[in-house]
């Protein structure tokens, strides 16, 4: 088993237990690797595992979720395509967001820069599409931030209520909401 092949299992442990609740024992159980093998791959233990998982998530964000935003299709089609990727990535709202989980508690200070980088990447990519669609840069930035807030909130509701309807409704309505005419002046 290679280091790269264990990343999804490490990710699952962090998603289930958060940073504080993740342990070498849990990583060992999830990956099937002994403690020594885990430390061979990740000499700095849990902190290094979380950093690798965040790198993996940032790469997935670029290659999967945000790739549709960088196409030459009309803005509404790009946002819809992104939302399809978001829906699949978060398993219809049933998968916790690791960016959120690794931005609280002890993990906050350790990974703030990586989480911030990933969130800025998402917000900037979405805002660029909104500017291209004719919104002012300020409105585009605010709406992109609001979209991420709404996605994160819908993830919480989906998990808390054990119902994907809110997440699905949000993703369905978001393209038109984001692209409604800009009635503010810069």
Tokens at 158, concatenated: 């989906």
pLDDT band at 117 (very low <50, low <70, confident <90, very high): very high
d(C-alpha 131, C-alpha 114), whole Å: 26
Q: How confident is the model at residue 49 (pLDDT cuts 50, 70, 90)?
A: very high
User: Domain boundaries in the chain?
Assistant: 56-179
3-class secondary-structure state, position 182: coil
Calculate the alpha carbon distances from 170 to 173, 177, 185 in Å. Answer: 5, 10, 27
Looking up tokens 């660029």 gives 128
At 145 the pLDDT is 98
pLDDT tens across 144-176, in order?
A: 999 999 999 999 999 999 999 999 999 999 999
Architecture of the domain spanning 56-179: Orthogonal Bundle (1.10)
């Amino acid at each position: 088993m290679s280091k790269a092949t264990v990343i999804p299992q490490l990710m699952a442990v962090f998603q289930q237990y958060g940073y504080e609740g993740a342990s070498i024992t849990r990583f060992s159980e999830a990956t099937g690797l002994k403690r020594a093998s885990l430390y061979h791959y990740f000499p700095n233990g849990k902190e290094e595992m979380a950093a690798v998982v965040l790198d993996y998530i940032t790469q997935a964000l670029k290659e999967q979720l945000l790739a549709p935003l960088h196409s030459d299709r009309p803005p509404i089609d790009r946002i819809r395509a992104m939302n399809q990727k978001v829906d699949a990535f978060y398993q219809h709202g049933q998968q916790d967001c690791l960016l959120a989980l690794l931005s609280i508690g002890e993990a906050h200070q350790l990974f703030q820069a990586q989480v911030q980088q990933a969130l800025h990447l998402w917000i900037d990519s979405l805002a660029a599409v909104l500017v291209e669609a004719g919104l002012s840069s300020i409105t585009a930035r605010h709406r992109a931030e609001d979209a991420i807030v709404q996605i994160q909130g819908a993830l919480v509701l989906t998990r808390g209520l054990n119902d994907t309807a809110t997440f699905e409704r949000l993703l369905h309505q978001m393209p038109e909401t984001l692209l409604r005419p800009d009635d503010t002046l810069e």
